[in-house]
Chains A and B, each alone.
Chain A
Amino acid sequence: MSKKVLIIEDDKFLRELLGKKLTSAGYAVVLAVDGEEGLEKTKKEKPDIVLLDLMLPGINGFEVLEKRQKDPEISDIPVIILSNLGQKEDIEKGLKLGAKDFLVKAHFTPQEIVNKLQMVLG
């Protein structure tokens, strides 16, 4: 059974590009365009891992993490932050709110993101 990845990203191009890469790498891919939809789909689809952007319309990525922490149904689904914010404060905040890792989109290629997923998911 292939592992399921949920991508929460509001930029259509990046979302679809990453989805395409992950699909060809053998993952089952679920997409969400904002925080609300992301949380809904996390609950519904129970992915093995979530890739979470921070700058989202509506509730932002940090708020998604907060809500996830409080919800026992989804609080142990691992989350990797994928964002173009990269300041030390943002990274620390994200990790404190329960994210497993923090990747700056502009510093990683899709293949490198796949490699990270494999490291976390085994």
Chain B
Amino acid sequence: MDESLKQEEELQKKEEELHKIRLAFLNILEDKEEARLQAINERNKSLAIIKNFTDGLLVLDENNRIEIISPLVETFLGQKEEELLGKSIFEITSPKVNLKLLQDILKEDKEKGIKSIFRQEIKLGESLFLEVTVSHFKTGDKKGSLIILHDISRDKLVERMKTEFVSIAAHQLRTPLSAIKWTLRMILDGDVGEITPEQRDLLEKTYQSNERMIALINDLLNVTRIEEGRFLYQLEPTQLEDIVGQVVEGLKETASLKNIKIKIERPKELLSPIMVDKEKIGIAVQNLVDNAIKYTPAGGKVTITLSKNGNQAFFKIADSGVGIPQDQQDRIFSKFFRGSNVVRLETEGSGLGLYTTKNIIESHKGKIWFESKEGEGTTFYFTLPFAS
């Protein structure tokens, strides 16, 4: 009797256990199903985002093979998804655009091993301008790259319209200013009769004011063209020594009026040629030498040193001038910025020179920086890569 009761109890316990295990299994299955549905959901969400992305998007694996693209990539490249997926970014072709520019950027990025985000504007077709952004990611043990192609064709068109507008405005402004310049000059030169010293003084000041306006228009014209001109006009192999020589020659008289000595120190051997837009680099150097003379008191010294720094040309200009106050140094390259110490001196200046110079040097893939101490002087440096 006892035996059968015990056995029944045991059976019941085992049944309950089985019941619990069955419940547990059902729970696990439910959780797994939930997780599976969630994964599908997430994947659908990501796909929806990618398929509706308003930029061209490419995800590459660590071997530069294209894993995912957004529809706009098909539009930009004129190539169907099937022709792109699974292929290396360096192997794909396009019937519509010249991919070499894009591939060169990616190669450069790969070689330099840039860790942070890399961005550049390129012209891919006749009226297709793209801003290419490349970033590299790592999630868990999966590495890859993300390339975003952002259409800036319209922005470029607006930029071009702005430049044209400024060109036309500059021309229109120059016409009456020429009339004023010529009239004042003729009066001052005595072409229309004698003038009193008092009249001369007044008219001379007016003439200078007018000259400042003409110079300002030139600066504005240059700035606008530089801003539009990430596409430089015409690159030619050039000797930096020649450009610097010409600029200094042109400013010799201005310097001697202030009794400022300009010295150029050249390396023993000719520097390798640099691949630059001669006119623009001339403007860049002109602004630096101009500033050095302008902001150095009479009797001071300006020394220019040219040298080779690895595979770059190295330019240094040191003056014994008024220097840049410490608290204003971070703004020195800003548009229209002029140091408070020189504004007080009343020296002329539009505040556009360094902004323009920095733009020009950086468009040529160079670097520009400076050191300065108020009351002692300023030294500007820039580098430009040699033509390879």
Contacts and interface: CB of A to CB of B under 8 A. Distances in A.
Interface residues of B, number: 20
B127 interface: no
Contacts of B233: 88
A80 to B, nearest CB: 15
B279 interface: yes
Nearest to B192: A20
A85 interface: yes
B208 to A, nearest CB: 13
A111 B185 contact: yes
A24 B174 contact: no
A106 B185 contact: no
A110 B185 contact: yes
B174 A88 contact: no
Given A17-B179, A21-B191, A88-B279, A110 B171 contact: no
Given A88-B233, A106-B214, A109-B181, A11 B175 contact: yes
Interface string A63-105: 0000000000000000000001111100000000000000011
B182 interface: yes
B35 interface: no
A55 interface: yes
A85 B182 contact: no
B174 A109 contact: no
A44 interface: no
B191 A24 contact: yes
Contact of A110 (B167, B174, B186, B217): B186
Contacts of B189: 111
A85 B214 CA distance: 13
Interface string A4-40: 0000000101100110110010000000000000000
Contacts of A105: 174-175, 178, 182
B183 interface: yes
Contacts of B182: 14, 17-18, 21, 105, 109-110
B177 interface: yes
A11 B177 CA distance: 13
Contacts of B175: 11, 14, 84, 105
B186 A17 contact: yes
Interface in B209-234: 214, 217, 221, 225, 233
Interface size range of chain A in the complex:
20 to 34
B276 to A, nearest CB: 14
A94 to B, nearest CB: 14
24 contacts: A11-B175, A11-B179, A13-B179, A14-B175, A14-B179, A14-B182, A17-B183, A17-B186, A18-B182, A20-B186, A84-B171, A84-B178, A85-B167, A86-B221, A87-B167, A87-B225, A105-B182, A106-B177, A106-B181, A106-B217, A107-B214, A109-B181, A110-B185, A111-B185
Interface of A: 11, 13-14, 17-18, 20-21, 24, 55, 84-88, 104-107, 109-111
Interface of B: 167, 171, 174-175, 177-179, 181-183, 185-186, 189, 191, 214, 217, 221, 225, 233, 279
Given A17-B186, A87-B221, A110-B186, 14 more contacts: A11-B179, A14-B175, A14-B178, A14-B179, A17-B183, A20-B191, A55-B171, A84-B171, A84-B175, A87-B167, A87-B225, A106-B177, A106-B214, A110-B185
